[in-house]
Structure 1
Amino acid sequence: MEPVRRHQQAFHVAGLAVRTTNRDERDPATSRLPKLWGRFFDEEVYASTPHRNGDKRLFGVYSGYESDVHGAFDVTAGVAVSEGAGCLTVEAGDYLVFTARGAMPQLVTGTWQRIWDYFEAHPELTRRYRTDFEAYDGPDAVAIHVGVS
């Protein structure tokens, strides 16, 4: 399925964050994201985050990119908030949205592989590497938004 290009207004997310690389995430010994999401759910961060707004989705926000797909980046597992100290702003702009349904976490890793393949096949598209985000509508549905110029 082809992604859909959408303009996204800026919004804020608060939660837990780690810094990682795609190389580290491919190795279970160095992967940080499963622990991040485990902590997010174990500590019920989604239920205790102050200033949560009406958006019930959970978010994985990619930010603080060092460079490109090969560099380090931050990932925040969180919820949409109206304000608050320490919240992260997802930048306004155009995003390609890749949607998928299936079993986690294979659903997410498979969709990111689809995204990398898509950008490799479409060199005319330029990723912004500012903020990207995963929006989870349920336990088996994700929409990954990748910022483009």
Structure 2
Amino acid sequence: MVKTTRVKNLMISGKTITTNNKNEMNEQTAKIQTLWDDYSEENVYSATHDKANNSSMYGVYSNYISDLNGDYDVTVGVEVTKAKNAIVIKDEKYLVFKKEGELPQVVIDTWTEIWEYFENNTEYKRAYTIDFEHYTKEDEIEIYISIEK
């Protein structure tokens, strides 16, 4: 299921790494799973100040160098109420892909669906500004892909 929406004033704070899709396709150079593990092991959640009232987790993709082939930052975090040290989405238009299934496979499947969608669909063009995964329930994910306005 795909829908469009606008996101305003969302702020996410957490732990960040830089990677690219080529590295993530190789088990030896992949960093994203380690980032999630480190977030938990280092108890970053407890150290995060000004958390919003919800406890949903986010995976945020930002600072794209180019497109799906370039480097980008990945941040694992939670919503916060102050912009200090946070990724801030001021006002963006998004395509939202929502799926249910077992983690982490549902995330992999959804990203595969997203890449195929943009290869085969010319109605929307990716903006490569800030994309994010919103973990709404234990077995449900929404992935927000920024699109050109």
* Superposition TM-score tier, normalisation by shorter sequence: over 0.9
- Which deviates more, 65-74 or 117-126? 117-126
> What does residue range 120-139 of structure 1 map to in structure 2 within 5 Å?
120-139=119-138
1:41 shift after superposition: 1.4
**Counterpart Cα distance in 2 of 1:46 and 1:4:** 30
**Counterpart Cα distance in 1 of 2:135 and 2:96:** 13
**Counterpart Cα distance in 2 of 1:124 and 1:98:** 15
Q: CA RMSD in A?
A: 1.2
The size of the alignment, in residue pairs, is 148
Matched, 1:106 2:117: no
Runs of 4+ in 1 over 6 A off after TM superposition: none
Give the match's secondary structure for 1:126. Answer: coil
TM-score, normalization by structure 2:
0.94
1:134 shift after superposition: 0.4
- Residue segments in structure 1 that go unaligned for 5+ positions in a row: none
- Residue segments in structure 2 that go unaligned for 5+ positions in a row: none
Percent sequence identity over aligned pairs: 34
Q: Which residue of 2 aligns with 1:94?
A: 93
1:87 shift after superposition: 1.2
Q: Which residue of 2 aligns with 1:61?
A: 60
Contact 1:50 / 1:84 at 8 angstroms: preserved in 2? no
Contact 1:91 / 1:131 at 8 angstroms: preserved in 2? no
Contact 1:12 / 1:90 at 8 angstroms: preserved in 2? yes
**Counterpart Cα distance in 2 of 1:9 and 1:55:** 16
1:55 shift after superposition: 2.4
> What does residue range 1-149 of structure 1 map to in structure 2 within 5 Å?
1=1, 3-149=2-148
